[in-house]
Structure 1
Amino acid sequence: EVEGFERLVINFRGLDCVTFVENVFALSRFVRAAGAQSLLEDRKSAEDVYESILSEHRYRDGQIDGYVSRLHYFSDWVEDNHRRGLVRNISAELNGILDSEPVDFMSTHTDAYAQLIDTSNISLIKETEERLSAAGRRYVPMDRIDEVAQQIHDGDIIAATSTLAGLDVAHTGIALWIDETLHLLHAPLVGEAVQISETSLAERIEKIEGQDGIIIARPQDEPRREATSARER
């Protein structure tokens, strides 16, 4: 997060687990975009297109409209991107179970978020939390990950669900198959090297306290609308 008004921030040297997923997803869409090769000959145009793609993932309805327009809760990120056809949440297809625990971590830990010094932001965050809590979230419990692993593809977005009260997702990464074993490609620490999990995804979730399952979102090859720079919004 940055001080002041909400704006798109791109920092490839300081990725956390979420911004790593967002940027890998954005880069994959960028290189598949029509005319990507020619765009690289025009840095300004390339940057504008990339910013537009990243904004589509990061903000509700792809529009920057203040601090609360950012999809802070990752289950919200998945559902908003699913609704717009950018990913498909396949957790229910894999017989995921319902997590109906309330989501309220941000509004109950306002001191951890500089922008929540503004009480109007707190009110809007609470509205988001109430909606997420009412809807619940489908996830695959950790003891069933091996059972469904063969249905998870390289490049699927993985969200490790949290057991911490009020928090929906504890960590994110990208599914990666190596020698017939499903691993997690992820950024475990801000600014540190991206890693591939040493153990299988299922074993990793089981060993880490505070995580109890996964939400799986599959990137979709959707035709994109005409892009405009995030700076022009």
Structure 2
Amino acid sequence: MIRLLICEDQALVRAGYVTIFNAQPDMTVVGEAADGREAVSKARELRPDVVVMDIRMPQLDGIEATRQLAGPGSAEPMRILVVTTFNVDSYVYDALRAGASGFLLKDAPPPELINGVRTVARGESLLSPAVTRTLIGRFADRIRPTAEPITTLTTREQEVTKLIAEGLSNAEIAERLVISAETVKTYVSRILTKLDLRDRVQIVVLAYRTGLVS
């Protein structure tokens, strides 16, 4: 059973999430939070499997709440699924850097939202290819290149990293490089280990920060 904490300041939206998730046979909402401080407090108290986090909330915004729950200083990082409004939010990139495991747009249909929670609960990252290309592209001018050790990757690993950053799935990468999906999974695992990263979201962020993708 996937235990969920819903963090959303709009009561109607929050109630909608609760209804959708509780209707699933493998999900249960164990708590709700209407602001960022309450989100952090309840997450630490309840230890849910997935935190569904809005970005714009009173008291403490979702980015800082995510950083406190899943950022570099977290002893036991939680799995955070950020749900944001594309036309309003300008903080998606910051949320990913703060430790979010993925994000969806608020107008995503229920099946996509449900699948997103299951994906994050499995320990995988959630990056819709189309959304990834659009959002990262939109915020690319805010990303300052760093000297992080992308050079430790082999030529093929860098190639896979670029394709991940472009929003391609493992199957699409396999097709593009004419290799098996299992081989792609092996490359992704090596990239994560070499760069000491947690998931595909962090691979995307690092690819842009190092200038591997622009």
| Pair in the same fold by TM > 0.5 | no
TM-score by length of 1: 0.27
The structure showing larger relative contact order (alpha-carbon pairs under 8 Å, at least 6 residues apart) is: 1
